[in-house]
Amino acid sequence: MSNLISQIYQDHLHMARILKLIKSEIDALIAEEPRDLEVLDDALRYLINYADKIHHAKEDIIFHRLQQVDPASREVLNDIFSEHQELFTKGTEFQHLVRAVEIGDFVLRKEIVAKGKAYTDALFSHMRKEEENILKRAQEKLSEEDLAELDLDHLTATDPLFGEEVQKEYQDLYNYILDQYGEDWRHPAHRVV
């Protein structure tokens, strides 16, 4: 498998881990358990700054090339492009509500839960669709030369949370993940499909 495609799978594993964490924070909100919203805020910042701006941006470029070499994938990939935009909107809307609560604004619990669920469900099913329908196709149809020609120079940022080095702004989130799950978050059982 090309490095580029295997990085996409690797990102999905990490995004799934963060999504599960977000889901458990939402469950805690539903159960009215006291929670530090900083964790949710950090997790969403990671997804918006890395998943949306790097991972999805990279996929957009790879998948546009796939559309050129594999016209049969045109329609499903157009859906994927729309979903990338919708996910950014859903993620930022959810983040705004979390931040509003953090600064003491009145936000209905059911509103924040609904936005959170809509976002996490949409991102999970998006990744599942990519893994079931798209990534294998990309591996089959795109040669190493096709992939090498892609202009990804502006998207070289490494994963700031699960990459070689944890960036300072995500250190609290990383510590929280280790506290909650230990090294278990690396386990392959957390794969998307």
Q: Which is nearer to Fe ion, 42 or 59 (CB)?
A: 59
Query: Using an 8 Å Cβ cutoff, are 134 and 192 in contact?
Result: no
Q: Which is nearer to Fe ion, 30 or 193 (CB)?
A: 193
Binding site for Fe ion (CB under 5 A): 56, 59, 130
The nearest distance, CB 52 to Fe ion, in angstroms, is 9
> 163 phi and psi, to 5 degrees?
-80, -170
Residue 179 CB burial class (10 angstroms; 0-12, 13-18, ≥19): exposed
Name the token pair of 188: 């392959």
The nearest distance, CB 9 to Fe ion, in angstroms, is 9
How far is Cα 38 from Cα 51, in angstroms, rounded to an integer? 19
The nearest distance, CB 167 to Fe ion, in angstroms, is 21
Q: Which is nearer to Fe ion, 130 or 159 (CB)?
A: 130
